[in-house]
């Protein structure tokens, strides 16, 4: 809910922004929406009303994909008619947020809104496999470095952490800057 509220707030700020400030505000909407989209995709899992081996998960996963398709369709209009797209996006997100709070994770948006939309494909499993492969490769590479035995666990965990950080952050450069600040 908090992420959705931040995205709605970013939409409001973009609507009120002056013409020279609008590109920055639209970028903030896109960044906030990326985070919110990941949470919408997981809404049915995070709500806690469905057990792991449930036949309902497939239907809910498809619905979440369609909701994301509707959100992306509204986001696509930001470059052609920003004001109308921002209003539509905020309206969609308010509906999603309200219905999630009410426990309607299978009806985050009405069927009329979702009609004809193909669900967005979930590539999260590919990211996980790539992150695991890169972390494993980095660990193998770190094992061949001439390090003392006491430093090897730190090198392995650092390599794995760096691999996951690079793959799971939206801006790997900022993640590396954060990592260098933590080291200091």
Please, what is the end-to-end C-alpha distance for the chain in angstroms? 35
pTM: 0.69
Sequence-ordered list of residues with C-beta below 8 angstroms from that of 63, at least 6 positions apart, any chain: 44, 105, 106, 107, 108, 114, 119
| Closest residue by Cα to residue 135 from 154, 153, 155, 161 | 161
Yes or no: say if 47 and 96 are a contact pair by the CB < 8 Å rule: no
pLDDT per position in the chain (184 positions), as tens? 788 889 999 999 999 999 889 999 999 999 889 888 888 888 777 666 676 777 777 788 888 899 999 999 999 999 899 899 999 999 999 999 898 888 888 888 888 888 888 888 877 778 888 888 888 888 788 778 888 888 888 888 888 887 777 777 766 666 566 666 666 6
Query: What's the pLDDT at 47?
Result: 67
Sequence-ordered list of residues with C-beta below 8 angstroms from that of 105, at least 6 positions apart, any chain: 43, 44, 47, 49, 60, 63, 99
């Amino acid at each position: 809910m908090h992420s959705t509220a931040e995205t709605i707030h970013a939409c409001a700020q973009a609507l009120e922004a002056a013409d020279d400030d609008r590109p920055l505000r639209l970028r903030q909407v896109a960044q906030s929406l990326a985070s919110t989209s990941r949470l919408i995709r997981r809404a049915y899992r995070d709500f806690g009303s469905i057990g792991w081996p449930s036949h309902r998960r497939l239907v809910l996963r498809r619905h979440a994909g369609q909701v994301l398709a509707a959100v992306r369709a509204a986001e696509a209009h930001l470059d052609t008619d920003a004001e109308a797209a921002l209003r539509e996006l905020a309206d969609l997100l308010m509906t999603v947020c309200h219905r999630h709070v009410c426990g309607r994770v299978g009806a985050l948006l009405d069927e009329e809104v979702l009609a004809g939309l193909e669900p967005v494909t979930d590539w999260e499993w590919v990211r996980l496999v790539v992150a695991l492969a890169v972390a494993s490769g980095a660990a193998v590479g770190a094992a061949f470095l001439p390090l003392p035995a006491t430093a090897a666990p730190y090198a392995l965990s650092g390599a794995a952490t760096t691999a996951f950080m690079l793959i799971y952050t939206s801006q790997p450069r900022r993640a590396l800057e954060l990592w260098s600040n933590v080291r200091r």
